[in-house]
Homo-oligomer: A and B are copies of this chain.
Amino acid sequence: MKKLLIVIVCLIQISAMSQQPIASNSIYVCPPCDNSCDDLKYKKSGKCHICNMELITKGELRNYQKPKEMTIAFYLQEGVEILDFAGPLEVFTVSGFKVFIVSKTTDPIVSQGVLKVIPDYSILNAPKADILAFFGGNGQVAAQDRSIINWIKKQEKSVDYLFSVCTGAFFLGQAGVLDNQTVTTFHMSIESLKQSFPKAKVLSNVRFVDNGKIITTAGISAGIDGALHLVEKIYGKERAKLTSIYMEYDKWVPGEGLILSKN
């Protein structure tokens, strides 16, 4: 992971070379973010052109507390579809998030009938995360488990974002957080989601839907686009774009979903 971050930082440096900012006696600086822009100085307030963070004065820098690394709990159930979670895991890891794997227990699970995965934590000992993420592949059935739903309910108010790919939306629905939200899911489960959660507005033919706190995506490969959107939302377009370049995912179309809230 360190290697990946170094690569991202290098990419950011290369990108920065074309737009040299003022490096003399200036008053605005970028809040420390472990990128090359930590050493830059600006004459005007505004946003850092590299990491997109709001610039602060040198005086503010003395009392500045660096925000902690965003953490994401990936909940993986037995039978979870591999690309559902692997696409977002690639995106979030390359973008500098800290991802950990949670399952009902710490016993190995089998993804896609093939890949044996050892979870980092069970729902009994998982640390608090900033984002909870859920994925399809047996999602509709696994979401019937009350112990998992109770685990979500205990923390859904305190997390920053709830993210689902494919039939991972059924976990969020069972936890009661899809009421009055506009959402999507795997193309073959649209009707089932509608029937299961009639208070949600379920859309088809959309790559992701962003309600602000709750982001749901269409099936399988759409998780990649939803994750890139969340990176863009949290860290800005530059970081999301560099991640897509690193991944050679030039098929990414920023904003290719329904964005109902930018917060």
Contact = CB atoms under 8 A, between A and B. Distances in A.
Nearest to A248: B219
A116 B114 contact: no
A218 B81 CA distance: 24
A219 B7 CA distance: 14
B118 A116 contact: yes
A64 interface: no
Nearest to A90: B83
Contacts of A117: 115-118
A151 interface: no
A56 to B, nearest CB: 31
A118 B108 contact: yes
Contacts of A218: 248
A114 B100 contact: yes
A113 interface: yes
Interface stretch (A32-40, A46-54, A220-228, A231-239): A220-228
B224 A247 contact: no
B89 A112 contact: yes
A148 interface: no
A1 B114 contact: yes
A248 B187 contact: yes
A1 B219 contact: no
Contacts of A187: 248
Contact of A86 (B4, B7, B86, B116): B86
A154 B224 CA distance: 37
23 contacts: A1-B114, A2-B113, A7-B188, A82-B86, A83-B87, A83-B89, A83-B247, A86-B86, A86-B115, A89-B115, A90-B112, A90-B220, A93-B112, A99-B114, A100-B114, A101-B114, A101-B116, A108-B118, A115-B117, A117-B117, A118-B118, A219-B248, A251-B251
Given A1-B112, A82-B86, A221-B251, 8 more contacts: A1-B113, A7-B188, A82-B89, A86-B87, A86-B115, A118-B118, A218-B248, A220-B249
> 8 closest pairs, A vs B, by CB?
A86-B86, A1-B113, A83-B90, A116-B118, A221-B249, A251-B251, A219-B248, A220-B247
